[in-house]
């Protein structure tokens, strides 16, 4: 598998993953939600974040997902989008630690962080 192909696969996985979580599963309970939260909005509350942060982070992640997918066809700042998401994933991991979540709840954020770093390096 060439590095270009790996980079393209990562763009699809991360882009669709972001859109899935924020547009399709925001109100769905998962085993990875922080604290005792059942929805994405409750998760931000569990972290003690102000309400507007839900919208800021959501806008950043949805925009990044669209940019990553669009960069498969058009010149788009995929590295920048991946770097922004990587920073948000570091923040997510810190929030999980802050509320004393078990390590397994940080696994999706850690995997997304690794994939975003891969995009930043390969694109």
Residue 1 has pLDDT above 80, yes or no: no
Q: Which percentage of the chain shows pLDDT scores above 70?
A: 99
Tokens of 115: 């994939």
Query: For 41-80, what is each residue's pLDDT tens digit?
Result: 999 999 999 999 999 999 999 999 999 999 999 998 999 9
Q: How many CB atoms lie within 10 A of CB 119?
A: 26
Residues 6+ apart with CB under 8 A from 48: 98
Residue 118 has pLDDT above 80, yes or no: yes
Query: Is the model's pTM score more than 0.85?
Result: yes
Cα–Cα distances (Å) from 69 to 7, 18, 56, 77, 121, in that order, read 12, 10, 20, 11, 17
């Amino acid at each position: 598998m060439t590095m270009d192909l790996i980079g393209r696969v990562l763009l699809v996985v991360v882009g669709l993953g972001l859109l899935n979580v924020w547009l399709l599963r925001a109100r769905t309970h998962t085993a990875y939600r922080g604290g005792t939260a059942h929805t994405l909005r409750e998760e931000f509350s569990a972290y003690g974040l102000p309400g507007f942060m839900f919208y800021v982070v959501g806008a950043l992640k949805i925009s990044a997902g669209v940019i990553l997918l669009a960069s498969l066809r058009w010149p788009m700042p995929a590295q920048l989008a991946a770097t922004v998401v990587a920073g948000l994933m570091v923040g997510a991991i810190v929030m999980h630690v802050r509320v004393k979540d078990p390590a397994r709840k940080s696994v999706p954020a850690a995997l997304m962080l690794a994939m975003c770093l891969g995009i930043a390096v390969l694109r």
